[in-house]
Amino acid sequence: MNSTILACSNCSWQYGVQSPSPSGTLYGGFVRVKMPSSLPSLNCLYVIWASVSSANYFYQTSLGYSPSYGWHISAGSTNPGVACDLACPPFQVGGSTFRPQPGKTYEIGIRFVPQTGGSYQVHLYFVDVSSGTLYDIYVVTDSGTMTTPVGGILESYDIDNSDLNKLGNGNCLEVVNANWLTAPYVSAQWPHGYVYGPTTQTCKQNPDGSYSGYQAVPGGITINKIASGDFKIGYQVGGSQYQSGYQLW
């Protein structure tokens, strides 16, 4: 009987684009992700997330594939108000997992809404752009303001090129808008996009069997700028595997 070895790394790799650091008060940010025309099953986790941190906590809203959950949208945070922290289950509607659809566009983001007394209500949300429906995945409270760049980061444990090719050229994820929020419900495109990562090989096994560090981004993973705020990311999607800090636009 033939068997197939499913190659997933013990550590994840991360690669993407981020905004500049905010120079004034901002209220979060988002990326709009256009789905590929077909949504294959993969061997390993493969997600793209929008992220931002306050002085206290990290927030992310993600979209992608998990071997356990299939295609899904989720979110996570180090804010203790999100009990599942960075390992949250898929978002559900009416008891069923919300399934992003091929070819459609979803806005995944984080919104800081000021509250009386100086704190913020932080919304980890997504928008089904085709229907215009906004879904709050988690809403939590934070006393801190947004302090970091907004990220649009691809993360995966997949290091099998043939598997990665399923979401490669011609069938890849495309970020079609990369915005930050200049007011809670007002957005503007990042003035610049800078490359985040690629992570390098620092993955090692610990004495207790767990792993620390990161996987090197596979050589075929590239970023292809289409326009300002618009780029394809995935296996051999054109462009290049730009290095950290490269100004994409």
Partner 1 sequence: MQHKRTIIISAIVAILLVLGLVYSSQVLWSQNHSIPSSTQDVSSFVERSQNLYMHPTSSPICSPPDLVNISADDFLSLKVTSSDTLLLSGIPYHYEVLNQSSGAAQIDNYTVSYGRPISSSTYSAGYPVTFSIQWVNGTRIGGFTYYVVLQQISSYPVSVIVYRIANAFFAFVNYDPGCSTSYQSMWLVAVTS
Q: Which is nearer to partner 1, 130 or 200 (CB)?
A: 200
**Per-residue tokens: 34:** 């256009």
Say how many residues touch partner 1, by CB under 8 A: 51
Q: Where in 66-85 is the site for partner 1 (CB under 8 A)?
A: 66, 68, 74, 76, 78, 85
Which CB, 213 or 238, lies closer to partner 1? Answer: 213
Site string for partner 1, 3-42 (x = CB under 8 A): -----x-xxx-x---x-xxx--------------------
| CA–CA gap between residue 153 and residue 16 (Å, rounded) | 4
Partners of residue 231 on adjacent β-strands:
175, 225
Binder among 33, 60, 181, 222 for partner 1 (CB under 8 A): 60
Residue choice 6, 86, 183, 188 for contact with partner 1 (CB under 8 A): 86
Does position 49 interact with partner 1 (CB under 8 A)? The reply is: yes
Spatial CA neighbour of 234 closest among 163, 178, 149: 163
Decide: 198 and 221 in contact? Cβ < 8 Å. Answer: yes
Q: Which residues bind partner 1 (CB under 8 A)?
A: 8, 10-12, 14, 18, 20-22, 44-45, 47, 49, 51, 53, 55-56, 58, 60, 62, 66, 68, 74, 76, 78, 85-87, 147-149, 151, 153, 155, 157, 192, 194, 196-197, 199-200, 206-212, 214, 244-245
